[in-house]
Amino acid sequence: MSKTHAWLTVLMLAGFSGAGSARAEGALSVPEVDEGYLIGASMASSSGHVGNAKQRFSLKPMWAFQVGSVRISRSRANSLMSAGREKSETGLSTNFDIFSDWKLGASLRIDNGRSFDGDPELAGLPDVRTTLRARTSLGRSFGPNWSWSASVDQDLLGREGGLRLSQGVGYRWPVSEKTYWDLSMSTTWGNGRYLQTQYGISNAAAMDTGRQAYLIGSGWESFRTSVQFTHALSDHWVAFGGLDLSQLLRGAAHSPLVGRVTTHGLSVGVAYRSK
């Protein structure tokens, strides 16, 4: 196991197993949260950067379960479950408040990988394997509306997933006590292993498929903007929607695997939460 793998693993274990003792030590405090769940679904229209897949429509389920200070969630359910409160990480996660306005988060996420079997133009290239990623994040609020966050995530299973860094700013515009808009902008940086796996063609793959190799080093991957809408219909029901835009940068944008440098996604849905 590399030093990076070891560091992230230790930090994750400290986040989950140390939650009970953090308050007693005084260094970190665990926010008081209740148990509960959320179940919902969204209708989404989206497309990916890699390949030449057309815009596709899908019905996506979402869910979240809160057990003490740990939350297990999928997709946007993490923020809808506590709409109007602080956001948690997607996946298996926990949060700690540190130094007043600062927040440290830790989560485990499943990265589903990618297959070219359904794309005749890229068929034969090696798949990106599903893996487990550990993510730690640091965020800070600036007044009631502005926030900043940064995160690092690492492939834990050694499946060429590499390491990513991201940071962004967000602004929450409250229309009323039950309705608000979230606007955000973020950038993502990847190390050479991550970007090569996602956007490159190795020398071996080029020889096997008769394509030209594309070797890419570390650098910026993308710039993203998002506008999200949330409205609490009642104490239990929440309606939501949003628009996401993604622009690939530099080496990732010039990859021969990329069919769309700029993509967008639209979604709308409803969810039920227990508390």
Digit-coded pLDDT (tens) for 2-34? 444 444 343 333 333 333 333 233 322 333 445
* Range in 54-58, 150-154, 189-193 the model is least confident about: 54-58
Averaged pLDDT for residues 236-253: 96
Residue (of 233, 128, 140, 229) closest to 178 by Cα position? 233
Q: What CATH number should be reported for the domain holding residue 173?
A: 2.40.160.40
* Beta carbons of 118 and 81 less than 8 angstroms apart: no
Global pTM value: 0.78
Residue 158 CB coordination number (10 Å): 11
Taking CA atoms, 175 is separated from 142, 145, 181, in Å, by: 19, 12, 7
Q: Does residue 225 carry a pLDDT above 70?
A: yes
- 225-239 mean pLDDT: 93
Domain count, the chain: 1
Q: How far apart are CA 88 and CA 180, in angstroms?
A: 18
Rounded distance between C-alpha atoms, residue 197 and residue 175, angstroms: 42
196-209 pLDDT, tens per residue?
999 999 999 999 99
Q: What is the mean pLDDT of residues 215-238?
A: 95
For residue range 41-86, list pLDDT tens digits in order. Answer: 999 998 899 987 678 889 999 988 888 777 788 877 877 876 744 4
Q: Which of residues 69 and 259 earns the better pLDDT score?
A: 259
Full domain range(s) for residue 28: 3-273
Structural contact between residues 28 and 22, judged by C-beta atoms closer than 8 angstroms: yes
Q: Give the Cα separation of 70 and 226 in Å (integer).
A: 26
Give the residue among 206, 114, 99, 120 at the shortest CA–CA distance from 160: 114
Choose among 113, 112, 75: nearest CA to 91. 75
As a whole number of angstroms, the distance between CA 65 and CA 82 comes to: 11
138: enclosing H helix or E strand: strand 131-142
CA dihedral 27, 37, 130, 253 (to 10 degrees): -80
Distance CA 246, CA 249 (A): 10
Instruction: Confirm if 238 and 270 have CB atoms less than 8 A apart.
Output: yes
Distance between CA atoms of 253 and 255, rounded to whole angstroms? 6
Distance from chain centroid for Cα 37: 20
The pLDDT, as a whole number, for residue 31 is 39
**Count of residues making up the chain:** 275
pLDDT at residue 160 in the model: 94
Count Cα atoms within 13 angstroms, Cβ side, for 24.
Answer: 4
Whole-angstrom distance, CA of residue 103 vs CA of residue 171: 17
> What residues contact 86, with CB distance under 8 A and at least 6 apart?
31, 95, 103
